[in-house]
Structure formats: C-alpha cells, structure tokens
Chains A and B, each alone.
Chain A
Amino acid sequence: MKGNEALALAAIHGGCTHFFGYPITPQNEIPEFLARELPKAGGLFLQAESEIAAVNMLYGAAAAGARAMISSSSPGLALMQEGISMLAATEIPCVIVNVMRGGPGLGGIQPAQSDYFQMTRGGGNGDYRIISLAPATLQESAEMMQEAFALAQKYRTPVFIVSDGMLGQMMEPVELNKSRSKERVAEQPWILTGHHNNRSPRTIKSLRLDPAELEIHNLRLQEKYKRISQAEVRFEAYREVDAELLFCAFGSTARIVKNSVDDLHQKGYRAGLIRPQTLWPFPALAFRSLPKSCRSVICVEMNCGQMLDDVKLAVEGRVPVHFYGRCGGMIPEPEELTARALDILSGDSQ
C-alpha cells in the first residue's frame, strides 16, 4: 500500500475516531482513504474549509476527549501553527501528520525535508515542544502512527508524524498491528463533556494574565518536556561501531544514505549512519559517545541544512561536521553521497 494509506489505516487501528483536513498534495491519499474508511469504523471524517479551521476542529474534538488527528503538507502546516501553539499550551493529546514538500512559500509538490525547523522549533509562539516522529519505511510509518496516539495520551501532548512526498507516495509491504486500537485509553479527568452529572466544571484555557500563574504553567510544561526528552528519544544506529565517517540522516534520506553506506563498505571504507527516529527529542546522546574510530560526521538532508544545527550541538565540536543537501524536491542519489563521503574521507587522511 501507499505510504499515505499506511498512515491512514494505521490511524484507524491506532484508535483514531476523528479526522479533519483540507486537501493538499502530496498527502491527499490520507483524507481520501479516511473519507472512505473512517466512517465504516464508526469514526468521523470532516473536510474543513481551510487548514486553520481543521486545526481548530481538532482542538475542539480532542478537548472533548476524541482520539483525533489532522494531516497536511508543509504550507498547510504553516497555516496551522497558531492552533498548534494552543494545543501545546492546553496540553491536548492529538496527532498531526506533515507529508513534507519543498518550500518556502507554496514551494513545490515534490519530496523535501525543509520543515525540520517547523517540526522541531515550531512556528507558533511560546515555549513549547512537540514530539516529532520521523519514519523511514512504510512499516515504521504505520507503527509510529499508532505509537503517536499512545504518546499523545501518555503525555497529554500533540505529536507530529514527519513524513514526506517520497514516503507518502511510494508503496512497500506493511504488516499492520490490529490490536492497538483495543488498548485501554486511560481515564481523562480533564476532558470537556458537559457537566451533566453535576460534576464540578472543567476549564481548558491558554490565556493566563497573571504572570506568576503563567510562569508556573510554563515550568510545569518544561518539566513534562524534560521527562519526554529523557524517556522517548529514539534512533537507529547502522554499521556505526567502527565507522570512520558517520552519516546522520532522517526519514526518506536515511534510506538513500544506507545505500551509500553499503557502497562505501564495498569500496573498503567504514561508514555508518545515525538515523534519528525522534527529531524532537533529538538523539543527542548518539553523538555524545561517538565511536573512537569516528573522524568526521556528515549530515545529509533534503533541505539546506536544518538538522545540521542539532547535530553540531550534539557533536560539540569534537569532530568536524559536514553537510550535504538537496532541496526544492530534488532527491539525492546514493552515488552523490558516496562521492561526497570519499572527498571527506580523503581530506581527513591527508
């Protein structure tokens, strides 16, 4: 099945009950699939009049306790940022999918990763963080989609799925775990369901005019983000043990890098890959304990160098950090990466 369909089907089997969205390429198979299948599973599909409406419908539905999601692509996500800041402020569990395309502005419709900043730094205001899960295969897309709902509930937070046009449009075999929708959802003693049983009123709000109160709220959020940073960091390490050159790449780019790592091994060079599966929290610890053999790191992205900042912060200047990027919807070939790696390796050995 297509990557977008895998995400959509996994959402249903992850217990998703409500979907809101507005069409945009290259994520359209998600609403297409859910428009057909979610009502059959007893859920609700609604095509909103805009991305801004969609994110606020999500806000409302999830505040009332629904397992809800939205999906869009890069410029659509930009429109949703105000709502995302609200969701973070009010700690609403929900899942937001970004099938990235080239930017800035409307950009293009081909695959890109130029929303790394948008997915890890946010475009909304305020001190907030959002868990960002970045799959590299369709199997992982499906698994992360289900995991996203669980994480959202566990921490009362929005969760991003960071896909792109390549992962969204391609097909690959997927084995779906169909038991996850049956997982018990913990009691949510904060949801707004109307106080029909004369229970005391509940409030969800993001406006706190008393600075002392707002500071306390912020510090509590920060404490939660710290817990997430400690418990939920995920990455894959591939042939890294004795690597001289360590690649860092996420998502679809990491697939291509793996080809290049294997090429380099065949040519007699020791290359490895660190693939962040969570973009936030970033797996800095993978770089804190670099293998002794590692003499340089190269960050490869389908953008002009965004995750590069996090890699440099994590490497802390111990070895040089290089960069190779393609952008605008251009996809690197393994051969380009191998050539760049060979340049670096020969430069290092001089």
Chain B
Amino acid sequence: MYSERILCAGFGGQGVMSLGKLIAYAGMLDGRHVTWMPSYGPEMRGGTANCSVVVADQPVGSPIVTTNATCLIVMNLPSFEKFQHSVSSGGLILFNTSLIDRQVERRDVLAQPLAANELAAECANPKAANMVMLGAYMGLKGAPRLDHVVKAMKKVFGDGSSTLFNQNMKAVRKGMEAVGKVTASKKAA
C-alpha cells in the first residue's frame, strides 16, 4: 500500500512550501489521496520553514509529519539538524549539500546528497534549487509522474512566465539526472 509521508524543510524563500505543494498536487493528479500542511506562525517570518505532505492510497488521517517521515527533503543546515531524526528507519533523506556541509550520521536510512544550488545555477536559475530537489525525489521514488508535475506547476505558480516555467522544468530534469534515473522516469511519464 502506497503511503508517503514527506517533510520538506529549509529557510523562508527557498521554496520548500511550493516544493511540497507540487508533490501534493501532482500526487492528487496521480490519483492518490493527498494533504499538505505548512508550519505556520512566527517561525515563518524570516526563519526556518517546513511543510508536511502525505500521499497515500487510503484517505489521509493525520496530515502532520513529525516523527514518522518516509522522506525528508531538506535544504539548509538548521533544518537538517532539526529533522534528520524525524525520518523513520528505511526512509530517505534528500539533502542539499550546497548549504549542508555535514553527512547523514544515521545508517538505517538512504541518504542522497545533492548540490541543488549549483545544479540549479547550471539551469540559469539558482533559485530553482527546490525544483532540483523535486526532480531528485521523483527520480528516486518514481512518483509523481512528470506530466502531472507539469500540470501541478501551472496550478501552483500560475500560467505566467514561460521562461521561468522552462527553467523550472530544466531544473526538475537536472535533479532526475543527478540521481541517475532520468531514463526510467521519462518512460514512466
């Protein structure tokens, strides 16, 4: 039974909320039950930001991911230190080595380092580091589907700039390539 509990964390401005929304929207288009829940409150104004995403075959009970994440997508060091122990055994930690100069100490999880800021800069938009992380997530998990992410992107970011859209999609593909799953994922899409 499919049940993904994802924690996306970073600092305000890195796009962790949008990253979570994209996984949730695309997961909905994949035909699954989804929820997205932001951290809200004083910590959003300039500090760390995080959101919980649940994607499952069954209706979602608790939308909050704290101690039992199947995946942590983490973009900066304070969030890495705060949340690396929130992942359950056998889970995935996808971490941004551009801003996290540590290694995952745990041996019971799959740790995937990714220099997301540098990879995003190669796609002409260093702000798209979150999209690189999304691509890597898709590459490793085989979901959500690429065409659904395309649709989700229009929903989350609007129909505005096609330049930005193309940069974002380039960054997503970059992330998929970085984890070496681009061929398989393209087929799935």
- Given A26-B40, A172-B35, decide whether A166 and B28 contact each other with a Cβ distance below 8 A: no
Chain A 146-184 residues near chain B, CB threshold 8 A: 165-166, 169-173
Q: Which of B24-71 contact A (CB under 8 A)?
A: 24, 28, 33-38, 40-41, 59-64, 66-68
A170, B63: Cβ atoms under 8 Å? yes
- CB of A85 within 8 Å of the partner chain: no
Is B40 a contact of A169 with CB atoms below 8 Å?
yes
Inside 8 A of B174's CB, which chain A residues have their CB?
Answer: none
For residue A165, which residues in chain B have a CB less than 8 angstroms away from its CB?
A: 40
Residue ID in chain B nearest A254 by CB atoms: B61
Chain B's nearest CB lies how many Å from the CB of A6? Answer: 12
A333 within 8 A of B: yes
Is B34 a contact of A173 with CB atoms below 8 Å? Answer: yes
**Which of B28, B34, B61 is within 8 Å of A258, CB to CB?**
B61
Instruction: Establish whether residues B60 and A172, one from each chain, have CB atoms under 8 Å apart when the complex forms.
Output: yes
**B37 adjacent to A171 (CB under 8 Å):** yes
The residues of A that contact B59 with a CB separation of less than 8 Å are 137, 258
Partner of A259, one of B35, B40, B62: B62
Q: Is the interface of B mostly helix, strand, loop or mixed?
A: loop
Is B21 an interface position by the 8 A CB rule? Answer: yes
- Is the pair B63, A172 in contact by a Cβ cutoff of 8 Å? yes
Complex formed: what's the CA distance from A166 to B36 in Å?
10
Q: Which residue of B lies closest to A258 (CB)?
A: B61
Given A255-B60, A256-B61, A256-B62, verify A166-B41 contact (CB < 8 Å): no
A329-343 vs B, CB cutoff 8 Å, 1 = contact: the mask equals: 001011100000000
Chain A min CB distance to B189 (Å) = 22
Q: How far is the CB of A336 from chain B (nearest CB, A)?
A: 10
Q: Is A173 a contact partner of B28 (Cβ separation < 8 A)?
A: yes
Contact residues in B for A334 (Cβ distance below 8 Å): 61-62
Q: Tell me which residues from 94 to 128 in chain A have a Cβ below 8 Å from any Cβ of chain B.
A: 109-110
User: B36 — which chain A residues lie within 8 A by C-beta?
Assistant: 170-172
- Known: A171-B21, A171-B24, A172-B34. Contact between A166 and B40, CB under 8 A? no
A25 is an interface residue with CB less than 8 A from chain B:
yes
Q: Quote the shortest CB–CB distance from B167 to chain A (angstroms).
A: 25
- Which chain B positions have C-beta within 8 A of A255? 60-63
Interface size class of B (residues with CB under 8 A): 20 to 34
Chain B neighbourhood of A26, CB < 8 A = 40
Is B40 within 8 A of A333, CB to CB? Answer: no
Q: In the complex, A64→B10 CA distance in Å?
A: 50
Closest A residue to B28 by beta carbon equals A173
Q: Which residue of B lies closest to A108 (CB)?
A: B41
A258 partner residues in chain B, CB cutoff 8 A: 59, 61
Q: How far is the CA of A151 from the CA of B140 in the complex (A)?
A: 50
Bound complex: CA of A258 vs CA of B62, how far in Å?
Answer: 8
Interface string of B9-30 (1 = CB under 8 A from A): 0000000000001001000100
CB neighbours (8 Å) of B61 from chain A are 255-259, 262, 334
Question: In the complex, what distance in Å separates the CA atom of A269 from the CA atom of B168?
Answer: 48
**Residue contact B40 to A109, C-beta cutoff 8 Å:** yes
CB distance from B66 to the nearest CB of A (A): 7
- Considering only CB atoms, which chain A residue lies closest to B52 in the complex? A170
Q: Which residues of A contact B33 (CB under 8 A)?
A: 173
* Cβ distance B101 to chain A, nearest Cβ, rounded Å: 32
Cβ distance B62 to chain A, nearest Cβ, rounded Å: 4
Q: Which residues of B contact A259 (CB under 8 A)?
A: 61-62
Expressed in whole angstroms, the Cα–Cα distance for A170 and B38 within the complex equals 7
Residue of A nearest to B37 (CB): A170
Q: Which residues of chain B are near A170, meaning CB under 8 Å?
A: 35-38, 63
> Residues of A contacting B63 with CB < 8 Å?
166, 170, 172, 255
A333 to B24, CA, bound (A): 21
CA distance A110 to B66 in the complex (A): 15
CA distance A257 to B62 in the complex (A): 8
A110 lies within 8 A of B60 (CB)? no
Complex alpha-carbon distance, A169 and B61, angstroms: 15
Q: B89 → chain A, closest Cβ, in Å?
A: 14
Q: Which A214-258 residues have a C-beta within 8 angstroms of B?
A: 255-258
Excluding A170-B36, A335-B68, 20 further A-B contacts by CB distance (< 8 Å) are A25-B40, A109-B40, A109-B41, A137-B59, A169-B37, A169-B40, A170-B37, A170-B38, A170-B63, A171-B35, A172-B60, A172-B63, A173-B33, A255-B60, A255-B61, A256-B62, A258-B61, A331-B64, A333-B67, A334-B62
Residues of B within 8 A of A (CB): 21, 24, 28, 33-38, 40-41, 59-64, 66-68
Instruction: Give 5 CB contacts A-B under 8 Å.
Output: A165-B40, A170-B37, A172-B34, A256-B61, A333-B67
The 5 closest A-B pairs by CB, nearest first: A259-B61, A171-B36, A170-B37, A256-B62, A258-B61
